[in-house]
Amino acid sequence: MLTFAKKHGLVALAVAGVTMAAMAPAHAGKTLEAIKARGQVICGVNVGVAGFSSADSSGNWTGLDADVCRAIAASTLGDANKVKWVPLNAQQRFTALQSGEIDVLSRNTTFTLTRDASLGLHMTAVTYYDGQGFMVPVKSKIKSAKQLKNATVCVQSGTTTEKNLTDYSKANGLNIKPVVFEKQEAVNAAYFSGRCQAYTTDASGMASVRNTEAKNPADHVILPELISKEPLGPMVRRGDDEWFAIVKWVVYGLIEAEEYGVTKANVDAMQKESKDPVVMRLTGSGEDTGKLLGLDKDWLVRAVRAVGNYGEIFERNVGPKTPLALPRGVNNQWTKGGLMYAMPVR
Protein backbone atom coordinates (compact mmCIF):
# COMPACT_ATOMS: atom_id res chain seq x y z
CA MET A 1 0.00 0.00 0.00
CA LEU A 2 1.29 3.48 -0.91
CA THR A 3 1.74 5.96 1.89
CA PHE A 4 -0.10 9.32 1.80
CA ALA A 5 3.14 11.09 0.91
CA LYS A 6 3.96 8.67 -1.88
CA LYS A 7 0.45 8.88 -3.31
CA HIS A 8 0.53 12.66 -3.40
CA GLY A 9 4.06 12.65 -4.74
CA LEU A 10 2.92 10.52 -7.70
CA VAL A 11 -0.06 12.81 -8.30
CA ALA A 12 2.23 15.84 -8.30
CA LEU A 13 4.57 14.15 -10.78
CA ALA A 14 1.63 13.25 -13.03
CA VAL A 15 0.32 16.82 -12.97
CA ALA A 16 3.78 18.17 -13.71
CA GLY A 17 4.10 15.72 -16.60
CA VAL A 18 0.79 16.83 -18.11
CA THR A 19 1.79 20.51 -17.75
CA MET A 20 5.17 19.90 -19.38
CA ALA A 21 3.52 17.96 -22.21
CA ALA A 22 1.07 20.78 -22.77
CA MET A 23 3.93 23.29 -23.05
CA ALA A 24 6.05 21.12 -25.33
CA PRO A 25 6.86 22.40 -28.83
CA ALA A 26 4.30 21.34 -31.43
CA HIS A 27 5.31 18.97 -34.20
CA ALA A 28 4.88 20.31 -37.69
CA GLY A 29 1.76 18.47 -38.85
CA LYS A 30 1.32 16.96 -42.29
CA THR A 31 0.03 20.10 -44.02
CA LEU A 32 2.93 22.25 -42.85
CA GLU A 33 5.38 19.51 -43.80
CA ALA A 34 3.92 19.39 -47.31
CA ILE A 35 4.05 23.19 -47.58
CA LYS A 36 7.70 23.27 -46.56
CA ALA A 37 8.55 20.45 -48.98
CA ARG A 38 6.94 22.23 -51.96
CA GLY A 39 7.99 25.72 -50.84
CA GLN A 40 4.54 27.23 -51.34
CA VAL A 41 1.25 27.76 -49.54
CA ILE A 42 -1.57 26.89 -51.94
CA CYS A 43 -4.34 29.39 -51.29
CA GLY A 44 -7.87 29.25 -52.68
CA VAL A 45 -9.22 32.73 -53.47
CA ASN A 46 -12.14 34.28 -55.31
CA VAL A 47 -11.98 34.55 -59.08
CA GLY A 48 -12.14 38.29 -58.56
CA VAL A 49 -13.68 40.55 -55.92
CA ALA A 50 -11.89 43.90 -55.71
CA GLY A 51 -10.68 44.64 -52.20
CA PHE A 52 -10.72 40.98 -51.15
CA SER A 53 -8.97 38.94 -53.85
CA SER A 54 -8.39 39.96 -57.43
CA ALA A 55 -5.53 39.75 -59.91
CA ASP A 56 -4.21 42.47 -62.20
CA SER A 57 -3.12 41.92 -65.82
CA SER A 58 0.27 40.72 -64.60
CA GLY A 59 -1.22 38.10 -62.29
CA ASN A 60 -0.47 40.00 -59.07
CA TRP A 61 -3.09 39.25 -56.43
CA THR A 62 -4.28 41.91 -54.00
CA GLY A 63 -7.00 42.22 -51.39
CA LEU A 64 -7.78 41.49 -47.77
CA ASP A 65 -8.17 37.73 -48.33
CA ALA A 66 -5.01 37.65 -50.44
CA ASP A 67 -3.05 39.42 -47.68
CA VAL A 68 -4.14 36.76 -45.19
CA CYS A 69 -2.56 34.16 -47.48
CA ARG A 70 0.62 36.23 -47.69
CA ALA A 71 0.78 36.53 -43.92
CA ILE A 72 0.48 32.75 -43.57
CA ALA A 73 3.27 32.24 -46.12
CA ALA A 74 5.49 34.75 -44.34
CA SER A 75 4.93 33.04 -40.98
CA THR A 76 5.51 29.50 -42.25
CA LEU A 77 7.99 29.89 -45.11
CA GLY A 78 9.64 33.23 -44.35
CA ASP A 79 8.48 34.74 -47.64
CA ALA A 80 5.07 36.32 -48.26
CA ASN A 81 5.45 35.75 -52.00
CA LYS A 82 5.59 31.97 -51.71
CA VAL A 83 1.89 31.58 -52.45
CA LYS A 84 0.29 29.61 -55.26
CA TRP A 85 -3.04 31.26 -56.07
CA VAL A 86 -6.01 29.07 -57.05
CA PRO A 87 -9.07 31.10 -58.15
CA LEU A 88 -12.31 29.29 -57.26
CA ASN A 89 -15.98 29.98 -57.81
CA ALA A 90 -18.60 29.32 -55.12
CA GLN A 91 -19.29 25.76 -56.28
CA GLN A 92 -15.61 24.76 -56.48
CA ARG A 93 -14.28 26.19 -53.24
CA PHE A 94 -15.21 23.50 -50.69
CA THR A 95 -14.37 20.56 -52.94
CA ALA A 96 -10.95 22.06 -53.64
CA LEU A 97 -10.22 22.26 -49.91
CA GLN A 98 -11.69 18.84 -49.11
CA SER A 99 -9.65 17.15 -51.84
CA GLY A 100 -6.35 18.73 -50.80
CA GLU A 101 -6.04 20.83 -53.95
CA ILE A 102 -5.49 23.85 -51.68
CA ASP A 103 -4.07 24.26 -48.16
CA VAL A 104 -6.33 27.09 -47.06
CA LEU A 105 -9.48 28.73 -48.42
CA SER A 106 -9.33 32.51 -48.00
CA ARG A 107 -12.26 33.48 -50.19
CA ASN A 108 -14.95 35.70 -48.58
CA THR A 109 -16.61 32.59 -47.14
CA THR A 110 -19.25 32.77 -44.41
CA PHE A 111 -18.97 30.74 -41.21
CA THR A 112 -22.15 28.69 -40.68
CA LEU A 113 -23.03 25.67 -38.56
CA THR A 114 -23.64 23.50 -41.64
CA ARG A 115 -20.30 24.33 -43.18
CA ASP A 116 -18.44 23.91 -39.92
CA ALA A 117 -20.10 20.65 -38.91
CA SER A 118 -20.77 18.74 -42.12
CA LEU A 119 -18.13 19.48 -44.75
CA GLY A 120 -15.05 18.04 -43.05
CA LEU A 121 -13.67 21.55 -42.75
CA HIS A 122 -12.71 23.92 -39.93
CA MET A 123 -13.60 27.56 -39.66
CA THR A 124 -10.60 29.46 -38.24
CA ALA A 125 -11.08 33.14 -37.35
CA VAL A 126 -13.20 36.01 -38.67
CA THR A 127 -11.37 38.47 -40.91
CA TYR A 128 -14.41 40.53 -41.97
CA TYR A 129 -17.86 40.87 -40.39
CA ASP A 130 -20.32 41.37 -43.22
CA GLY A 131 -24.04 41.20 -43.95
CA GLN A 132 -26.17 40.55 -47.01
CA GLY A 133 -27.86 43.48 -48.70
CA PHE A 134 -29.51 44.62 -51.92
CA MET A 135 -28.51 46.95 -54.73
CA VAL A 136 -31.01 48.61 -57.08
CA PRO A 137 -30.86 51.22 -59.83
CA VAL A 138 -31.37 54.74 -58.49
CA LYS A 139 -34.03 55.31 -61.15
CA SER A 140 -36.17 52.54 -59.58
CA LYS A 141 -36.76 54.90 -56.63
CA ILE A 142 -36.73 51.89 -54.28
CA LYS A 143 -35.56 53.00 -50.84
CA SER A 144 -36.04 49.83 -48.79
CA ALA A 145 -35.74 46.06 -49.28
CA LYS A 146 -39.34 45.80 -48.09
CA GLN A 147 -40.35 47.40 -51.41
CA LEU A 148 -39.04 44.41 -53.40
CA LYS A 149 -42.41 42.61 -53.47
CA ASN A 150 -42.64 40.34 -56.55
CA ALA A 151 -39.25 41.66 -57.73
CA THR A 152 -36.71 39.66 -59.73
CA VAL A 153 -33.37 39.52 -57.90
CA CYS A 154 -30.07 38.35 -59.39
CA VAL A 155 -28.18 35.94 -57.09
CA GLN A 156 -25.35 33.40 -57.32
CA SER A 157 -26.20 29.74 -56.74
CA GLY A 158 -24.45 27.55 -54.17
CA THR A 159 -24.08 30.40 -51.68
CA THR A 160 -25.57 31.38 -48.33
CA THR A 161 -26.83 34.43 -50.25
CA GLU A 162 -29.31 32.32 -52.21
CA LYS A 163 -30.79 30.70 -49.08
CA ASN A 164 -30.90 34.00 -47.18
CA LEU A 165 -32.84 35.58 -50.05
CA THR A 166 -35.45 32.82 -49.94
CA ASP A 167 -35.73 33.06 -46.15
CA TYR A 168 -36.11 36.85 -46.22
CA SER A 169 -38.74 36.71 -48.95
CA LYS A 170 -40.82 34.14 -47.06
CA ALA A 171 -40.48 35.87 -43.69
CA ASN A 172 -41.68 39.18 -45.15
CA GLY A 173 -44.23 37.89 -47.65
CA LEU A 174 -42.41 39.47 -50.59
CA ASN A 175 -42.67 36.67 -53.18
CA ILE A 176 -39.22 37.61 -54.52
CA LYS A 177 -38.28 35.76 -57.72
CA PRO A 178 -34.60 34.73 -57.66
CA VAL A 179 -32.77 34.76 -61.00
CA VAL A 180 -29.94 32.31 -60.34
CA PHE A 181 -26.54 32.00 -62.03
CA GLU A 182 -23.63 29.70 -61.24
CA LYS A 183 -20.88 32.23 -61.94
CA GLN A 184 -20.50 35.66 -60.35
CA GLU A 185 -19.69 37.24 -63.70
CA ALA A 186 -23.06 36.08 -65.03
CA VAL A 187 -24.87 37.54 -62.01
CA ASN A 188 -23.16 40.89 -62.53
CA ALA A 189 -23.86 40.95 -66.26
CA ALA A 190 -27.54 40.07 -65.78
CA TYR A 191 -28.12 42.81 -63.23
CA PHE A 192 -26.34 45.58 -65.12
CA SER A 193 -28.12 44.62 -68.37
CA GLY A 194 -31.46 45.11 -66.63
CA ARG A 195 -32.52 41.48 -66.47
CA CYS A 196 -33.18 41.76 -62.71
CA GLN A 197 -34.76 44.55 -60.70
CA ALA A 198 -32.27 44.08 -57.85
CA TYR A 199 -28.97 42.40 -57.00
CA THR A 200 -28.09 40.68 -53.73
CA THR A 201 -24.85 39.52 -52.13
CA ASP A 202 -22.68 40.50 -49.16
CA ALA A 203 -22.57 44.27 -48.75
CA SER A 204 -18.79 44.40 -49.14
CA GLY A 205 -18.93 42.39 -52.36
CA MET A 206 -21.72 44.59 -53.65
CA ALA A 207 -19.63 47.71 -53.09
CA SER A 208 -16.85 46.03 -55.07
CA VAL A 209 -19.17 45.03 -57.92
CA ARG A 210 -20.74 48.50 -58.13
CA ASN A 211 -17.32 50.17 -58.22
CA THR A 212 -15.77 47.87 -60.82
CA GLU A 213 -18.67 46.74 -63.03
CA ALA A 214 -21.15 49.63 -63.27
CA LYS A 215 -20.73 52.11 -66.14
CA ASN A 216 -21.58 54.79 -63.59
CA PRO A 217 -21.50 53.60 -59.96
CA ALA A 218 -23.64 56.58 -58.91
CA ASP A 219 -26.55 55.09 -60.90
CA HIS A 220 -26.89 52.29 -58.34
CA VAL A 221 -27.70 52.45 -54.64
CA ILE A 222 -27.11 49.86 -51.90
CA LEU A 223 -30.23 49.71 -49.73
CA PRO A 224 -29.79 50.30 -45.98
CA GLU A 225 -31.05 46.93 -44.70
CA LEU A 226 -28.73 44.01 -43.98
CA ILE A 227 -30.73 40.78 -43.90
CA SER A 228 -28.15 38.38 -42.46
CA LYS A 229 -24.93 37.92 -40.50
CA GLU A 230 -22.00 37.02 -42.74
CA PRO A 231 -18.80 36.49 -40.72
CA LEU A 232 -16.09 35.82 -43.30
CA GLY A 233 -12.74 34.14 -42.81
CA PRO A 234 -10.33 31.40 -43.88
CA MET A 235 -11.10 27.69 -43.69
CA VAL A 236 -8.89 24.59 -43.48
CA ARG A 237 -9.46 20.83 -43.68
CA ARG A 238 -10.23 18.85 -40.55
CA GLY A 239 -7.68 16.32 -39.42
CA ASP A 240 -4.61 18.55 -39.02
CA ASP A 241 -4.90 20.42 -35.75
CA GLU A 242 -1.41 21.90 -36.11
CA TRP A 243 -2.28 23.63 -39.39
CA PHE A 244 -5.66 24.73 -38.03
CA ALA A 245 -3.83 26.38 -35.10
CA ILE A 246 -1.31 28.14 -37.35
CA VAL A 247 -3.92 29.73 -39.64
CA LYS A 248 -6.10 30.74 -36.71
CA TRP A 249 -3.27 32.30 -34.72
CA VAL A 250 -1.79 34.17 -37.68
CA VAL A 251 -5.15 35.97 -37.98
CA TYR A 252 -5.40 36.58 -34.23
CA GLY A 253 -1.80 37.78 -34.21
CA LEU A 254 -2.51 40.38 -36.90
CA ILE A 255 -5.55 41.62 -34.96
CA GLU A 256 -3.67 41.81 -31.65
CA ALA A 257 -0.73 43.53 -33.36
CA GLU A 258 -3.08 46.37 -34.31
CA GLU A 259 -4.47 46.56 -30.77
CA TYR A 260 -0.96 47.05 -29.36
CA GLY A 261 0.30 49.41 -32.07
CA VAL A 262 2.66 46.98 -33.81
CA THR A 263 2.79 48.03 -37.47
CA LYS A 264 4.62 47.20 -40.67
CA ALA A 265 6.76 50.30 -40.16
CA ASN A 266 7.69 49.79 -36.51
CA VAL A 267 7.65 46.01 -35.95
CA ASP A 268 11.45 45.66 -36.09
CA ALA A 269 11.98 48.57 -33.70
CA MET A 270 9.28 47.26 -31.35
CA GLN A 271 10.96 43.86 -31.34
CA LYS A 272 14.23 45.42 -30.21
CA GLU A 273 12.98 48.14 -27.88
CA SER A 274 9.54 47.44 -26.40
CA LYS A 275 9.32 46.40 -22.74
CA ASP A 276 5.56 45.78 -22.90
CA PRO A 277 5.11 42.06 -22.06
CA VAL A 278 2.36 41.65 -24.70
CA VAL A 279 4.43 43.30 -27.44
CA MET A 280 7.42 41.19 -26.40
CA ARG A 281 5.32 38.05 -26.86
CA LEU A 282 3.98 39.25 -30.21
CA THR A 283 7.47 40.04 -31.51
CA GLY A 284 9.22 37.02 -30.01
CA SER A 285 11.58 39.10 -27.88
CA GLY A 286 10.00 37.70 -24.71
CA GLU A 287 8.26 34.33 -24.67
CA ASP A 288 8.70 32.10 -27.72
CA THR A 289 5.09 31.41 -28.76
CA GLY A 290 6.22 30.11 -32.14
CA LYS A 291 7.44 26.80 -30.73
CA LEU A 292 3.88 26.00 -29.65
CA LEU A 293 2.82 26.26 -33.30
CA GLY A 294 5.75 24.35 -34.77
CA LEU A 295 7.25 27.66 -35.96
CA ASP A 296 10.09 29.89 -34.79
CA LYS A 297 9.87 32.94 -32.50
CA ASP A 298 9.69 35.45 -35.39
CA TRP A 299 6.57 33.91 -36.98
CA LEU A 300 4.34 36.94 -36.36
CA VAL A 301 7.06 39.55 -36.96
CA ARG A 302 7.44 38.21 -40.51
CA ALA A 303 3.67 38.37 -41.10
CA VAL A 304 3.37 41.98 -39.89
CA ARG A 305 6.53 42.99 -41.74
CA ALA A 306 5.03 41.60 -44.95
CA VAL A 307 1.42 42.86 -44.85
CA GLY A 308 1.02 45.04 -41.75
CA ASN A 309 -1.40 44.50 -38.89
CA TYR A 310 -5.13 43.88 -39.39
CA GLY A 311 -5.98 47.58 -39.45
CA GLU A 312 -3.36 48.27 -42.10
CA ILE A 313 -4.68 45.40 -44.22
CA PHE A 314 -8.24 46.73 -43.90
CA GLU A 315 -7.36 50.33 -44.72
CA ARG A 316 -5.16 49.42 -47.69
CA ASN A 317 -7.70 47.12 -49.36
CA VAL A 318 -11.25 48.14 -48.46
CA GLY A 319 -11.09 51.18 -46.15
CA PRO A 320 -12.49 54.71 -46.57
CA LYS A 321 -9.56 55.86 -48.73
CA THR A 322 -9.95 53.01 -51.26
CA PRO A 323 -12.41 52.83 -54.17
CA LEU A 324 -14.67 50.58 -52.03
CA ALA A 325 -14.74 53.23 -49.27
CA LEU A 326 -15.97 50.81 -46.59
CA PRO A 327 -16.06 52.16 -43.02
CA ARG A 328 -14.38 50.16 -40.24
CA GLY A 329 -17.75 49.89 -38.46
CA VAL A 330 -18.11 46.52 -36.72
CA ASN A 331 -14.68 45.54 -38.11
CA ASN A 332 -13.01 48.02 -35.78
CA GLN A 333 -11.09 46.92 -32.70
CA TRP A 334 -13.19 45.93 -29.69
CA THR A 335 -11.61 48.84 -27.82
CA LYS A 336 -13.19 51.18 -30.37
CA GLY A 337 -16.69 49.71 -30.39
CA GLY A 338 -16.10 47.01 -33.03
CA LEU A 339 -16.09 43.21 -33.00
CA MET A 340 -12.40 42.60 -33.73
CA TYR A 341 -11.29 40.87 -30.54
CA ALA A 342 -8.25 38.62 -30.82
CA MET A 343 -7.78 35.64 -28.57
CA PRO A 344 -4.71 36.50 -26.46
CA VAL A 345 -1.36 35.58 -28.01
CA ARG A 346 0.15 34.13 -24.87
Looking at the chain, the whole-number percentage of residues with pLDDT higher than 70 is: 92
Reported as a single tens digit per residue, the pLDDT across 47-69 is: 999 999 999 999 999 999 999 99
Q: Is the pLDDT of residue 248 over 90?
A: yes
Q: Is the pLDDT of residue 26 over 90?
A: no
Range with the poorest average pLDDT among 26-30, 173-177, 219-223, 318-322: 26-30
Would you state the pLDDT for residue 23? 55
Reported as a single tens digit per residue, the pLDDT across 262-319 is: 999 999 999 999 999 999 999 999 999 999 999 999 999 999 999 999 999 999 999 9
Query: What is the 8-class DSSP label of residue 52?
Result: T
Q: 104, 168, 128: which is closest to 329 by C-alpha?
A: 128
* Sign for the pseudo-dihedral over CA of 341, 260, 333, 68: negative
How far apart CA 19 and CA 7 sit, in angstroms, is 19
Looking at the chain, the whole-number percentage of residues with pLDDT higher than 90 is: 88
Range with the poorest average pLDDT among 71-85, 199-213, 250-264: 199-213
Whole-number mean pLDDT of the chain?
Answer: 92
Q: How confident is the model at residue 29 (pLDDT cuts 50, 70, 90)?
A: confident
Q: How confident is the model at residue 24 (pLDDT cuts 50, 70, 90)?
A: low
105, burial (CB in 10 Å: exposed 0-12, middle 13-18, buried 19+): buried
Q: Is the pLDDT of residue 14 over 50?
A: no
Q: How confident is the model at residue 20 (pLDDT cuts 50, 70, 90)?
A: very low
Radius of gyration of the chain (CA): 23
Would you state the pLDDT for residue 18? 44
Residue type, 20: M
Residues 250-280 as b/e (b if ≥16 CB within 10 A, e otherwise) read bbbbbbbbbbbebbbeebeebbeebeeebbe
Q: What is the fold of 30-129+232-324? A: D-Maltodextrin-Binding Protein; domain 2 (3.40.190)
Architecture of the domain made up of 132-228: 3-Layer(aba) Sandwich (3.40)
pTM for the full predicted model: 0.87
How far apart CA 241 and CA 245 sit, in angstroms, is 6
Q: Is the pLDDT of residue 158 over 90?
A: no
Residue type, 128: Y
Q: Is the pLDDT of residue 5 over 70?
A: no
Q: How confident is the model at residue 39 (pLDDT cuts 50, 70, 90)?
A: very high
Average pLDDT of span 104-115: 95
Q: Provide CATH 3.40.190.10 ranges for the chain.
A: 30-129+232-324, 132-228
Residues in contact with 119: Cβ distance below 8 Å, sequence separation at least 6, in sequence order: 94, 98
Q: Is the pLDDT of residue 233 over 50?
A: yes
Alpha helices in the chain (DSSP H): 4-22, 30-38, 64-77, 93-98, 113-118, 160-172, 184-192, 203-213, 241-259, 267-273, 277-283, 299-307, 310-317
Would you state the pLDDT for residue 16? 47
Q: Is the pLDDT of residue 2 over 70?
A: no
Q: How many CB atoms lie within 10 A of CB 40?
A: 18
Reported as a single tens digit per residue, the pLDDT across 324-340 is: 989 999 999 999 999 99
Structure-derived torsion over alpha carbons of residues 284, 286, 292, 293, reported in degrees to the nearest 10: -10
